């Protein structure tokens, strides 16, 4: 816009300057030609009452003004008469009069710069009875007028440039003000997460109507999303709860039937055992779902207390070993590497234990025996950390964020065979974050995983 205005104003100013100069010069030419035309008539008029050369001097004196120089020569260039202006003032001292008389001038009207002066010069033949063939020269000094015009043009340019600068500044301020709310909107939109949908409403007071409409639509969209998100969480919570209660009953019934059913045939026992395992797994999944929904809804009551991390780690190892004893020699695979004294952290003891069990359990499940699983306890800059190392297949870098998402599995077939729900790591992250901690994962495919839980000491 600034460039376009600059070009437009430059073109207009150039055209106006050129046009004004043309008009001014044309009017000076005309003036000089008029004086030249009158001159011959006046000489003839005076010639009627006095000799021709005297009439010539009289008319020159009469017609001359401060800016006008006149002189008459013969065709051979001999001077017959000249005006007083050529002999006085700056005309003489600057030598411009001498230059005028010396230079060759063609017949007609021309604009000619001499030294720092500018003249409109008219040369015309003068035919008067009693005079030899003479030539009239008239030089009109238009230096001051021309300089005045140049100053005017300069002012025109400066005014134009000033206007463009002002316009550009005004536009910049306006555009900046218009864009400010959009920048805020962009900033808010980039920060919004499912949990903070209600905290990122945009309130605009002074903004153009279109931007206000955009902000209104954005706020409405956030409200609808928040509503949908709340509904989804409520749904997950309700359905897990509604399904878990009857399934727990079924689970209890199956287990007691299996315990007491001495008259069951082998196929019946086998069928009931499969049903019990599946029910068990589904109840476990529903419990995890319910926990997750409660954390999301802020309904999970955490009992934060000072906890000896080493003790909790030992308990978790014992529980994980218990879970895996029937299938592998888990006890001999888990190696604890704990420094002493053990750090104290503020945490919910049972939840922290279940988080650690989940990580150790994953490490045992995803790394084939007899690969060791190392559990390391360390402190660093105000944080207590528990690291669970395994020598399993590892997790590709591009999946490392996603493994913390619900129901995400790196390898479907591998996970099905290991029997995981896909919710374990999601719960781990949610619970650790609810205890003001962090979970991170470092892994290279083929070189195992290192899951680290950090809690403030």
Q: Which residue in 366, 384, 450, 455 binds ligand ADP (CB under 6 A)?
A: 366
Comparing CA positions, the residue from 311, 385, 382 lying closest to residue 350 is 311
Place of tokens 């919910």: 348
Q: Which residues fall within 8 angstroms of residue 200, CB to CB, at 6 or more apart?
A: 188, 189, 191, 192, 222
Q: Which stretch binds ligand ADP (CB under 6 A): 34-42, 56-64, 78-86, 404-412?
A: 404-412
Considering beta carbons, is residue 82 or 452 the nearer one to ligand ADP? 452
d(CA 204, CA 172): 20
Q: Which stretch binds ligand ADP (CB under 6 A): 105-113, 156-164, 292-300, 387-395?
A: 387-395
Give yes or no for residue 452 binding ligand ADP (CB under 6 A): no
Q: Which residue in 53, 315, 323, 411 binds ligand ADP (CB under 6 A)?
A: 411
DSSP labels, 174-222: HHHHHHHHHHHHHHHHHH--GGGGGG-----SSS-HHHHHHHHHHHHHH
Give yes or no for residue 390 binding ligand ADP (CB under 6 A): yes
Q: Which residue in 369, 372, 396, 422 binds ligand ADP (CB under 6 A)?
A: 422
Q: Which residue in 363, 386, 431, 453 binds ligand ADP (CB under 6 A)?
A: 363
Comparing CA positions, the residue from 408, 406, 376 lying closest to residue 395 is 408
- Strands across the sheet with 334-338, in order? 334-338, 373-380, 383-389, 449-456, 438-443
Considering beta carbons, is residue 14 or 444 the nearer one to ligand ADP? 444
Minimum Å gap between C-beta 292 and ligand ADP is: 11
Give yes or no for residue 425 binding ligand ADP (CB under 6 A): yes
Give yes or no for residue 410 binding ligand ADP (CB under 6 A): yes
Q: Which residue in 160, 181, 343, 420 binds ligand ADP (CB under 6 A)?
A: 420
Give yes or no for residue 362 binding ligand ADP (CB under 6 A): yes
Give yes or no for residue 415 binding ligand ADP (CB under 6 A): yes
Give yes or no for residue 421 binding ligand ADP (CB under 6 A): yes
| Beta bridge mates, 438 | 454
Query: Does the N-terminal peptide bond of residue 341 adopt cis geometry, omega within 30 degrees of 0?
Result: yes
| Residue with the shortest CB distance to ligand ADP | 420
Binding mask 432-451 for ligand ADP (x = CB under 6 A): -----------------x--
Element at 82 (helix H, strand E) = strand 79-82
Q: How far is CA 258 from the centre of its chain?
A: 67
Q: Binding residues for ligand ADP, per CB under 6 A?
A: 362-363, 366, 390, 392-393, 395, 403, 408-411, 415, 420-426, 449
């Amino acid at each position: 816009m600034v460039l376009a205005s600059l070009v437009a104003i430059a073109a207009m100013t150039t055209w106006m300057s050129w046009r004004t100069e043309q008009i001014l010069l044309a009017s000076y030419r005309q003036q000089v030609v008029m004086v030249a035309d009158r001159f011959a008539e006046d000489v003839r008029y005076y010639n009627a009452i006095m000799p021709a050369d005297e009439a010539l001097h009289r008319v020159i004196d009469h017609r001359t003004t401060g800016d006008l120089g006149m002189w008459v020569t013969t065709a051979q260039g001999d001077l017959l008469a000249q005006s007083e202006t050529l002999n006085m003032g700056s005309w003489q001292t600057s030598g411009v009069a001498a230059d005028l008389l010396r230079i060759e001038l063609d017949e007609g009207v021309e604009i000619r710069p001499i030294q720092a002066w500018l003249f409109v010069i008219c040369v015309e033949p003068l035919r008067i009875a009693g005079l030899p063939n003479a030539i009239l020269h008239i030089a009109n000094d238009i230096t001051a007028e021309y300089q005045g015009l140049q100053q005017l043009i300069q002012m025109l340019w400066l005014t134009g440039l000033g206007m463009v600068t002002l316009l550009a500044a005004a536009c910049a301020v306006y555009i900046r003000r218009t864009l400010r709310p959009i920048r805020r909107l962009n900033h808010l939109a980039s920060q919004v997460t499912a949990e903070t949908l209600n905290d990122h409403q945009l309130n605009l007071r002074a903004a153009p109507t279109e931007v206000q409409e955009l902000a209104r639509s954005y706020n409405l969209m956030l409200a609808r999303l928040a509503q949908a998100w709340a509904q989804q969480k409520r749904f997950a919570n309700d359905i897990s709860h509604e399904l878990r209660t009857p399934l727990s009953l079924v689970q209890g019934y199956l287990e007691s039937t299996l315990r007491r059913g001495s008259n069951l045939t082998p196929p019946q026992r086998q069928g009931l055992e499969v049903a019990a395992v599946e029910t068990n797994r589904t109840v476990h999944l529903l419990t995890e779902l319910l926990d997750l929904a409660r954390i999301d809804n802020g309904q999970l009551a955490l009992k934060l207390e000072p906890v000896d991390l080493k003790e909790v780690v030992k308990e978790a190892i014992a529980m994980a070993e218990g879970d895996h004893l029937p299938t592998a020699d888990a006890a001999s695979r888990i190696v604890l590497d704990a420094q002493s004294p053990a750090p104290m952290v503020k945490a919910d003891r049972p939840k922290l234990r279940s988080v650690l069990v989940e990580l150790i359990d994953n490490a045992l499940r995803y790394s084939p025996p007899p690969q060791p699983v190392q559990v390391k306890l360390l402190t660093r800059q105000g944080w207590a950390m528990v690291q669970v190392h395994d020598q399993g297949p590892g997790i590709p870098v591009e999946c490392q964020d996603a493994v913390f998402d619900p129901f995400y599995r790196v390898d479907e077939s591998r996970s099905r065979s290991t029997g995981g729900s896909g919710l374990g790591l999601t719960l781990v992250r949610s619970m650790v974050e609810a205890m003001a901690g962090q979970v991170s994962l470092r892994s290279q495919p083929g070189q195992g995983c290192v899951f680290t839980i950090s809690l403030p000491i």
